[in-house]
């Protein structure tokens, strides 16, 4: 064995990338996220880590609603931009065509192939971030991103992030069927 301790902060390998939408006082705001996942299947409860002091966190605390929007790899520049500049300094509402579902304070991005509207479920305090847990109320896509009525990853063409190298990636090739390829190891 030749294991070595890895210096520096290690990240999940890789992380999905999305854009979180909230309503500020007078406009929609969008912030890029990579620290999120789903944690409960039904109801569908997702968690997002947001740094303390972010204006997005204030908006979620105020309205109890937000959206999660999944961009395609051809939206990489605007996606990165939404993670570089703050809604305190810049009006990001004009970057996208915005639509609403059933929630008033969960603005969604029309150009993104997958959109979720969420209500706040719980806030969990962490040392330098708040873990925002939200329940997905509805999800939206477009027929052109689906095959046989389910989302097709190759058509959605999502963006991945790896750190600490700080690269965005596409998904590659299918290497197996989940809950199937391991059956051959059964005794």
By CB under 8 A, the residues from 50 to 69 that bind its own copies are none
Task: Out of 55, 64, 83, 86, name the contact with its own copies by CB under 8 A.
Answer: 83
Pick the stretch among 23-31, 54-62, 147-155 that binds its own copies (CB under 8 A).
Answer: 147-155
Coil, strand or helix: which one is 112? Answer: coil
Q: Which of 25, 26, 94, 173 binds its own copies (CB under 8 A)?
A: 173
Question: CB atoms < 10 A from the CB of 42, how many?
Answer: 5
Stretch that binds its own copies, among 23-31, 58-66, 134-142 (CB under 8 A): 134-142
Cα separations in angstroms, 58 against 9, 41, 67, 73: 27, 27, 15, 29
Among 55, 78, 119, 155, binds its own copies (CB under 8 A): 78
Q: Which residues sit opposite 147 in a β-bridge?
A: 150
- CB count, 10 Å around CB of 92? 21
> What values do phi and psi take at 155, rounded to 5?
-80, -35
Looking at 19-27, 56-64, 107-115, which segment touches its own copies (CB under 8 A)? 107-115
Q: Which two tokens stand for residue 145?
A: 């991103």
- Of 25, 26, 94, 149, which one interacts with its own copies (CB under 8 A)? 149
Residue of 11, 86, 93, 119 interacting with its own copies (CB under 8 A):
11
CA atoms lying within 13 Å on the CB side of residue 134? 28
Nearer to its own copies, 59 or 130 (CB): 130
How many chain residues interact with its own copies (CB under 8 A)? 100
89 binds its own copies (CB under 8 A): no
Contact (Cβ atoms closer than 8 angstroms) between residue 103 and residue 60: no
Which whole-number Å values give the CA distances from 36 to 19, 98, 145, in the listed order?
A: 11, 22, 22
Query: Could you say which of 55, 58, 73, 119 contacts its own copies (CB under 8 A)?
Result: 73
* The one segment of 22-30, 45-53, 55-63 that binds its own copies by CB under 8 A: 45-53
């Amino acid at each position: 064995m030749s294991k070595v301790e890895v210096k520096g902060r290690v990240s999940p390998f890789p992380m999905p990338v999305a854009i979180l939408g909230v309503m500020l006082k007078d406009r929609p705001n969008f912030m890029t996220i990579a620290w999120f996942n789903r944690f409960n299947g039904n109801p569908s409860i997702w968690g997002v880590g947001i740094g303390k002091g972010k204006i997005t966190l204030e908006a979620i605390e105020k309205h109890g609603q937000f959206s999660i929007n999944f961009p395609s790899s051809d939206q990489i520049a605007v996606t990165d931009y939404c993670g570089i500049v703050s809604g305190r300094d810049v009006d990001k509402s004009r970057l996208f065509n915005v639509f609403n579902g059933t929630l008033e304070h969960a603005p969604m991005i029309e150009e993104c192939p997958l959109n979720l509207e969420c209500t706040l479920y719980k806030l969990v305090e962490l040392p330098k971030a708040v873990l925002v847990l939200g329940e997905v109320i509805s999800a939206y896509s477009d027929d052109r991103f689906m095959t046989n009525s389910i989302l097709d990853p190759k058509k959605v063409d999502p963006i991945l992030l790896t750190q600490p190298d700080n690269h965005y990636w596409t998904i590659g090739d299918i290497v197996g069927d989940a809950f199937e390829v391991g059956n051959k190891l059964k005794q």
